[in-house]
Amino acid sequence: MSPTRATLLACLLALLAGPARCQQTDLGRAAARALAGRRGSIVVLDVASGRVLAAERLDLAGRPVRPGSTLKPLVLLELLHSGKLDSRERLVCSRRLRIGTLRFDCSHVREVSELDLDDALAYSCNSYIAQVAARFEPSQLVEALRRAGLDSPTGLANDEARGRIDLPQDPDALKLAALGARGVEVTPLELVEAYRKLALRKRSGEDPLARPVFEGLEHAVAYGTAHASSVEGMHSAGKTGTAAGPGPERHGLFAGYAPAGRPEVAVVVYLAGGRGYDAAAAARPVFEAYLRERSAQ
């Protein structure tokens, strides 16, 4: 029996009693320890079935937040499939990025100054995304995010809200939406379901155009902005996001899957008051628990 199926069977009784927690498994205990009293949520899904394997604070996971840079893989996939972007095209990072009154300066090392799609995901380059987002028709971006399920409740939690995707009204709003900074709100549950669908696409091997996106997500964990989630002995893939809420508080997100070659679990971490780096670090013990279960089989 696969580790994910064994975990799922162990979890079913708890899920029937209520979806708030599934802690009797190693995955569930790891999720509880990773939050360690912080305000946030962690959800682990079985990629093949979509079932919840472990969850902490599903109530928070069902509330909409701005997704930040976790949108970038979905944005780039749509541009690739519409023929508006060649993954080998290299763009110069301006580092300093202002959109309207907002600043989105890139934080990656200065040596990374000219990037292709893989680099842009690995280093989460805002300048690259803002440049290629201008190639969208506003409705095209909205439809791509809707197809990913980012305004469709998953049914994984009671009283789950619905994400919101506004139609951008001008070029600046279009760039802000592609960066996940304004005009788009998603629940962490919708986000982990979108990444589960990415993982299924990776498993199928039937989308060669998506390969640079998968590689960028793997490199984000291997050496890029999601490196804090990296686990020795297993390749995984993922993306971080840091965004401001409607008020002054920011929050951090991590969404990803493992193993990178043939994904079995999808994970989302949401941390109120944190950064994407912090969310990636909280995902690491969950991936470690999954690896222990997998190695024990």
| pLDDT for the residue 135 | 97
What one-letter code names the amino acid at 172?
Answer: D
| pLDDT for the residue 296 | 82
| pLDDT for the residue 294 | 86
**Which residue ranges form the domains of the chain, and what is each CATH number?**
3-296 (3.40.710.10)
What is the rounded distance in angstroms from the CA atom of residue 125 to the CA atom of residue 131? 10
Checking phi first, is residue 112 left (phi over 0); if not, alpha (psi -120 to 50) or beta?
beta
| pLDDT for the residue 24 | 65
Alpha carbon of residue 73 to chain centroid:
8
- The per-residue pLDDT for range 213-262, each reduced to its tens digit, is 999 999 999 999 999 999 999 999 999 999 997 667 899 999 999 999 99
* pTM for the full predicted model: 0.91
| pLDDT for the residue 268 | 98
**Which regions in the chain score pLDDT beneath 70?**
1-24, 246-247
Q: What is the 3-state secondary structure (H, E, C) of the chain?
A: CCHHHHHHHHHHHHHHHCCCCCCCCHHHHHHHHHHCCCCEEEEEEECCCCCEEEEECHHHHCCCECCHHHHHHHHHHHHHHCCCCCCCCCEECCCCCEECCEECCCCCCCCCCEECHHHHHHCCCHHHHHHHHCCCCHHHHHHHHHHCCCCCCCCCCCCCCCCEECCCCCHHHHHHHHCCCCCEEECHHHHHHHHHHHHHHHHHCCCHHHHHHHHHHHHHHHCCCCHHHCECCECCEEEEEEEECCCCCEEEEEEEEECCCCCCEEEEEEEECCCHHHHHHHHHHHHHHHHHHHHHC
Of 32, 61, 40, 44, the C-alpha closest to 7 is 44
Q: Can you read off the two tokens belonging to residue 269?
A: 């971490």
